[in-house]
């Protein structure tokens, strides 16, 4: 699915790159390290920094019209040799477009700064160590494709590890899968800002056990000044599902004068207004939209026009359809499973809850990251009033009068919820019977073990300094990192 999605996005990107009709220069901040200014090419130039078998590069060469060249890199010489054989096996079309290199990915990207229209990074684990060089390798207006598979870290299981790798403290809450996307986007923007560059997210997805992100990169010292306003912190109630955003920076414009200042706050009182509990704070996260509606529409069009070219096309289309229906300006989502667990109540039907929010004058949508999640611009005070009205119609027994559920339901709702069917309560995709959440392709679906290679070395006997029986000790070396 990852490869099919990437091919579809690159096909879309190749079209808009061609429509731009311009050869972008090497960014000024990268010119000192670029070997030479890249000559205009008929098509896009792609770098796959961690190519391994070369399968992805081969598919790119065969399935993406308008590719000028592909650089497939790996730091393991044996892997590069295997990659060359795979490319040769796939014929002259692949051989003519793909250049194999044996180098450290970070070093290669810094040596060839600004040279590639698209840079694809798909590591096993965190991409954080690759980001500072990756944002320099991308040409002006180019595409950066990033995968992160360390979802346990990004979702808050090891917050200190996440802060060390990405510079963000995650919260282990029901919206953690979108949080993972926003943490990686923040890390990319932070790396880009150091080189006077900004990112423009096209598509940012939480898929299965990883996140996959597609952003364009531009050089603009003026726009870098706004990075603080695109970053935020989340205050999460410890007693209920309420959360509140606080932007890290703000811009004050008075006529021609523009002033950049720290954000105001905190946006919450000392205690949660619903339960009286305290708050935990997570961040910084990317706080702006994570998708570009035009990009989602463009990639969906590519999928519809080339159905037979994508083995996992149905799953990709379902995922992008769900993403296209999201409220783009509403960060994070509410997981209704957790809300009903907090209240110990019967869950309302999706269209009933959506109708109540729409009838109250608010917007609502689903989210690609969670089948039971909703996005809404309603304040939590209004949301909890709607849930109180629901519980009044479907009573529950509260065993502990001091529980958070009892405190939530003790308040009389100020907003009278109207659960009658509202126009727009059913999404267009559902009304058209377009799938949005597909089942896993096989049982026990998930990540496989990390690739490791065995490096032989001579071993001396600990007792008498003589050679061991076979004279060889096998040690395990992880890809790209020597084990001391």
In angstroms, the CA 472 to CA 455 distance is 10
Q: Is the pLDDT of residue 461 over 90?
A: no
Provide φ and ψ at 161, rounded to 5°: -65, -40
| pLDDT band, residue 65 (cuts 50/70/90) | very high
Of 168, 157, 175, nearest to 335 by C-alpha is 175
pLDDT of residue 137: 98
The kind and range of the H/E element at 365 are strand 364-367
| pLDDT band, residue 453 (cuts 50/70/90) | low
- Contact between 232 and 219 under an 8 Å Cβ cutoff? The reply is no
CATH 3.40.50.150, the chain: domain bounds = 2-229
- List the beta strands (DSSP E) in 26-77: 44-48, 67-74
In angstroms, the CA 279 to CA 277 distance is 7
Of 93, 95, 101, 106, nearest to 33 by C-alpha is 106
Average pLDDT for the chain:
89
Out of 29-43, 143-157, 386-400, 422-436, least confident range: 29-43
Provide φ and ψ at 194, rounded to 5°: -65, -20
pLDDT of residue 25: 53
Bridge partners of 203, per DSSP, are 214
In angstroms, the CA 273 to CA 257 distance is 38
| pLDDT band, residue 148 (cuts 50/70/90) | very high
> Residue 321 contacts by C-beta under 8 Å, 6 or more apart in sequence?
300, 429, 434, 435, 436
pLDDT of residue 110: 96
Of 175, 293, 309, 311, nearest to 234 by C-alpha is 175
- Segment 398-412 shows an average pLDDT of 93
Fold of 330-426: Phenylalanyl-tRNA Synthetase; Chain B, domain 1 (3.30.56)
Q: Which SS3 state, helix, strand or coil, does residue 334 take?
A: strand
The kind and range of the H/E element at 409 are helix 404-410
pTM of the model: 0.88
Class of domain 2-229: alpha beta
In angstroms, the CA 302 to CA 12 distance is 7
CATH 3.30.56.70, the chain: domain bounds = 330-426
In angstroms, the CA 326 to CA 89 distance is 43
| pLDDT band, residue 475 (cuts 50/70/90) | very low
């Amino acid at each position: 699915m990852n490869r099919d999605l990437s091919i579809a996005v690159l096909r879309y990107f190749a079209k808009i790159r061609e429509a731009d009709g311009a050869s972008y220069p090497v960014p000024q901040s990268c010119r000192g390290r670029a070997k030479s200014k890249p000559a205009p090419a008929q098509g896009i130039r792609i770098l796959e920094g961690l190519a391994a078998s070369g399968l992805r590069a081969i598919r790119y060469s065969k399935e993406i019209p308008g590719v000028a060249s592909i650089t497939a890199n790996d730091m393991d010489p044996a892997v590069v040799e295997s990659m060359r054989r795979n490319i040769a096996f796939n014929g002259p079309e692949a051989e003519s477009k793909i250049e194999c290199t044996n180098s450290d990915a970070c070093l290669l990207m810094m040596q060839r700064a600004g040279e590639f229209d698209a840079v694809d990074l798909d590591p096993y684990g965190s991409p954080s160590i690759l980001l500072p060089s990756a944002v320099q390798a991308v040409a002006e207006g180019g595409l950066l494709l990033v995968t992160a598979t360390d979802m346990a870290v990004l979702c808050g299981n090891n917050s200190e590890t996440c802060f060390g790798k990405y510079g963000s403290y995650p919260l282990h809450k029901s919206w953690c899968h979108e949080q993972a996307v926003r943490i990686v986007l923040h890390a990319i923007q932070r790396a880009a800002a150091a080189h006077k560059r900004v990112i423009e997210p096209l598509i940012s997805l939480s898929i299965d056990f990883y996140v996959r992100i597609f952003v364009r990169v531009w050089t603009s010292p003026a726009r870098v000044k706004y990075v603080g306003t695109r970053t935020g912190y989340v205050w999460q109630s410890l007693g209920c599902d309420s959360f509140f955003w606080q932007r890290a920076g703000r811009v004050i414009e008075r006529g021609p004068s523009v002033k950049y200042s720290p954000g105001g706050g905190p946006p919450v009182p000392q205690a949660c207004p619903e339960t009286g509990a305290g708050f935990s704070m997570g961040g910084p996260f990317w706080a702006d939209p994570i998708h570009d509606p035009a990009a989602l529409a463009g990639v969906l069009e590519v999928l519809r026009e080339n159905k037979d070219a994508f083995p996992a096309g149905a799953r990709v289309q379902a995922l992008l359809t769900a993403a296209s229906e999201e409220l783009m300006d509403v960060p994070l989502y509410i997981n209704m499973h957790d809300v009903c667990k907090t209240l110990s109540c019967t869950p309302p039907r999706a269209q009933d809850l959506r109708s109540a929010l729409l009838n109250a004058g608010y917007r609502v949508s689903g989210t690609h990251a969670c089948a039971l999640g909703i996005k809404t611009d309603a304040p939590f005070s209004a949301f909890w009033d709607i849930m109180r009205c629901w519980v009044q119609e479907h009573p529950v027994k509260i065993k502990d009068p001091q529980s958070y559920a009892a405190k939530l339901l003790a308040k009389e709702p100020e907003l009278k919820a109207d659960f009658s069917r509202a126009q727009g309560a059913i999404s267009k995709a559902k009304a058209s019977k377009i799938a949005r959440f597909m089942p896993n392709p096989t049982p026990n679906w998930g990540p496989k073990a990390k690739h490791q290679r065995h490096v032989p070395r001579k071993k001396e006997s600990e007792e008498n300094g003589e050679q061991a029986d076979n004279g060889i000790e096998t040690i395990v070396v992880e890809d790209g990192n020597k084990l001391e």
